[in-house]
């Protein structure tokens, strides 16, 4: 009896009844499918481990409880206020920077009473981009041991709007606040971190920057800019002992999102900030995106699903975003009309 040296391939060819080329191509594509299947499985396991098992970096690495200071922009409301409170609770002294002085005064008093750390405040309207304000901020932080920067200040459109109809002042404010202010504040802080050879920079990103978002095009572009900038900055500063992360979020209850009710997919600021501070150094839902984290569990799973199905740059996602924001715009315009009529 003669036994073939390639029993599997001979059987495969006979069953296929076709050329060797077709057989080899079939095996090649089957191998690709197997690799993709294994890759998806490993990424899924990694996602679950990062969400529910692994812990992020301990904030003591950045001087928590040891006299270090954290600077938070957009500190008086929403996510910024929660960063201020939770960092103070962990032992950081805090520099609170935001537009409304009365809110800063109240927050500083609350932090002192609850956590006994030092506070400093600076009213700062980032939309005006006054050089005197940046000079004042530089003077305020000059003697302080700043080790953490939270770039939280931001602005979106008042309602979804076609790009051709975006108000010029709103366009300028979004880019000035989201981009220019973030760059200039970071540039003030980075030399201090380099001198210390340690530090943490967290910049608030958004699914609006991850996913191209029609009717929020200026905001979407401004947040996408922060993605590239943060990744580039992280590579520059890592050898100097400084950690840089862009923090991605889907919807969070806040004045900016105009959402008040929480759900599985929409946490409140306290929940979101807690997940962020407990996962420093973990990408969670932002697997494959350097210097990026999607910390909240449902946001992470949502991102993972989109990226592993239709893809974030697909026309399906863009069209879905378009239809959703057209609907939101119609509702907002109807509400404004009712309020105008006093109904």
Annotated binding site: 206
Q: Which two tokens stand for residue 107?
A: 């927050």
Instruction: Give counts: helices (H), strands (E), the chain.
Output: 12, 7
Q: Which two tokens stand for residue 176?
A: 């000035």
**What's the CA dihedral at 309, 312, 315, 318 to 10 degrees?**
130
SS3 4: coil
Q: Which two tokens stand for residue 227?
A: 């993605």
Strand order in the sheet with 146-151: 119-123, 93-98, 69-73, 146-151, 199-204, 242-247, 292-293
Question: Taking a C-beta distance cutoff of 8 angstroms, is the pair 216, 325 a contact?
Answer: yes
296 is catalytic: no
From the candidates 62, 219, 250, 296, which is the catalytic residue? Answer: 219
Question: Taking a C-beta distance cutoff of 8 angstroms, is the pair 140, 114 a contact?
Answer: no
CA distance 26 to 24: 5
Residue 142 is classified by DSSP as T
CA distance 303 to 282: 15
CA distance 71 to 142: 12
Determine which helix (DSSP H) or strand (DSSP E) holds 219, and give its type and residue range: helix 217-237
Per the document, the length of the chain is 343
User: CB atoms < 10 A from the CB of 111, how many?
Assistant: 22
42 contact partners, CB below 8 Å, separation of at least 6:
none
Q: Name the nearest CA neighbour of 270 among 72, 127, 84.
A: 84
Beta bridge partners of 292: 246
Binding residues for substrate: 206
CA distance 328 to 158: 11
Residue 53 is classified by DSSP as T
Annotated catalytic residues are 219
């Amino acid at each position: 009896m003669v036994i073939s040296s390639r029993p599997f391939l001979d059987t495969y060819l006979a069953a296929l009844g076709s050329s060797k080329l077709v057989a080899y191509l079939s095996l090649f594509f089957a191998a690709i499918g197997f690799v993709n299947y294994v890759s998806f499985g490993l990424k899924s396991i990694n996602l679950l481990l990062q969400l529910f098992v692994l812990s992020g970096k301990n904030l003591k690495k950045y001087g928590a409880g040891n006299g270090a200071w954290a600077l938070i922009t957009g500190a008086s409301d929403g996510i910024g206020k929660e960063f201020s409170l939770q960092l103070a609770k962990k032992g950081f002294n805090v520099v609170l920077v935001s537009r409304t002085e009365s809110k800063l005064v109240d927050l500083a008093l609350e932090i002192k009473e609850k956590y006994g750390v030092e506070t400093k405040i600076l009213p700062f309207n980032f939309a005006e981009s006054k050089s005197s304000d940046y000079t004042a901020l530089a003077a305020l932080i000059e003697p302080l041991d700043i080790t953490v920067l939270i770039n939280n200040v931001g602005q979106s459109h008042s309602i979804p709007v076609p790009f051709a109809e975006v108000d010029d002042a709103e366009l300028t404010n979004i880019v000035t606040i989201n981009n220019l202010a973030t760059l200039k504040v970071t540039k003030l802080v980075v030399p201090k971190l380099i001198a210390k050879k340690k530090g943490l920079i967290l910049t608030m990103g958004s699914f609006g920057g991850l996913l191209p978002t029609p009717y929020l095009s200026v905001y979407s572009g401004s947040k996408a800019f922060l993605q590239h900038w943060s990744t580039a900055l992280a590579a520059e500063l890592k050898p100097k002992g400084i950690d840089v992360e862009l923090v991605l979020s889907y919807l969070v209850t806040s004045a900016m999102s105009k959402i008040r009710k929480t759900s599985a997919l929409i946490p409140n600021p306290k929940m979101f900030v807690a997940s962020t501070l407990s996962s420093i150094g973990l990408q969670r839902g932002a697997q494959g995106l350097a210097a990026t984290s999607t910390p909240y569990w449902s946001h992470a799973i949502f991102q993972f699903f989109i990226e592993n199905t239709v893809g974030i740059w697909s026309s399906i996602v863009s069209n879905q975003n378009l239809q959703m924001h057209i609907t939101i715009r119609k509702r907002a315009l109807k509400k404004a009309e009712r309020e105008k009529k006093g109904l």
